[in-house]
Each structure stands twice: as C-alpha cells, then as structure tokens.
Amino acid sequence: MAKREFPLERTRNIGIMAHIDAGKTTTTERILYYTGKSYKIGEVHDGAATMDHMAQEQERGITITSAATTCIWDNHRINIIDTPGHVDFTIEVERSLRVLDGAVTVFDSV
C-alpha cells in the first residue's frame, strides 16, 4: 500500500457554516488565498468565487451546493467544505456534517 502524503493525524475536515449572506464563501476564498492555494481572491458579488462553480451560483451570488477543496497549513492537510446558507438548501449542509471533524461558524453582525 502506498504511503499517504499526509497521515490521518495531520488531516482535518472542516465545514464553513452560517446563515445566508454571512460570508461563508468569502471566508473560504480568504483561507484559500492565505494558504497559497489560490493566487487571486475570488469575489462572490463579481461571480468570481472559486467555490461557487455553478452558473446559477455565480449569477445569484449564493451557494447552492456544498463545495469541497483542500489546502495545506502548518504541515496539515485541511479539507474544507463550503456549505450553502439558504434554508432551501439545508440538506446540503446536513450531508456535509457526516464527514466533518469540526466547523467554522461565521456570524454576520450587521
């Protein structure tokens, strides 16, 4: 069996969760930028967010399906799942919860 690049003890599965328009995808885009995974910060309102890959998501400026990506930080592999915030897509969040080690909750104070 092949040796893993990152052993399980250095692998984390985290979800980004919050209500609609709180900044989940924006937070994920910043994480990808600061970890060096992407070299340009994708803006949700411009339809340029890496995590919002469907045309409907880009047009509406909301996340419809959960999207997963991986980045490296402090010699750990971080698997990130960006989840939708709209109540109509709650099932996407529930499906993601089964594989997560933890979650980042974003609160919008406005």
Task: Supply the CATH number for residue 91's domain.
Answer: 3.40.50.300
Per-residue model confidence as pLDDT tens digits over 2-21: 677 888 999 999 999 888 88
The total of structural domains in the chain comes to 1
CB 40 within 8 A of CB 49: no
Domain that holds residue 88: 8-105
User: Residue 1 domain-assigned?
Assistant: no
The pTM assigned to this predicted structure is 0.80
- CA neighbor of 51 nearest in space, from 15, 87, 95, 6: 15
pLDDT over 70 (residue 44) = no
pLDDT over 80 (residue 57) = no
81 vs 70: CA distance, rounded Å: 9
If you average pLDDT over residues 31-48, what whole number do you get? 78
89 vs 100: CA distance, rounded Å: 18
71 vs 80: CA distance, rounded Å: 8
